[in-house]
Amino acid sequence: MNATGKYSVKETGEIVEYSFDYLVLEGDNAQEKIDNAIENLTAEKVAKDIQRTLKVDANNTAREKAKASNGHSARVALTEEQKQANKAERAGNKAILDALKARGLTLADITKLG
């Protein structure tokens, strides 16, 4: 499979796009996909990639926990109540948006109302 990525150049702010290829595993279930990966990449490569992914995921989680506990994280840990309130607010906003769309209102129409 071919995909496109991008990064920004720190000095100029320019956005640079690039292409890359990656293997899409074939199969109808996880075991078939794993078997396909082993067939295409070798068992050693699959094991190495899984181990690397597990390490990266564990490091990301541990880093964010350490940043949060040390007060260095820009993201504030939310309580369950805050999470539920935010979820309810998003659901309410979606209901408003769906109602506006159902009436065929555009952003220009809504702006005129104010």
- Centre a 10 Å sphere on the Cβ of residue 85 and count the other Cβ atoms it contains: 12
Q: Measure CA 5 to chain center.
A: 14
Q: What is the pLDDT of residues 59-107, one digit of tens each?
A: 999 998 898 888 888 777 788 999 999 999 999 999 999 999 999 999 8
Residue 35 has pLDDT above 80, yes or no: yes
The model carries a pTM of: 0.54
What single letter denotes the amino acid at residue 27?
Answer: G
Q: What average pLDDT does this structure show over 39-57?
A: 97
Q: How far apart are CA 24 and CA 99, in angstroms?
A: 39
Q: What percent of the chain has pLDDT over 90?
A: 81
Mean pLDDT of the chain: 93
- Centre a 10 Å sphere on the Cβ of residue 67 and count the other Cβ atoms it contains: 13
**pLDDT score, position 19:** 95
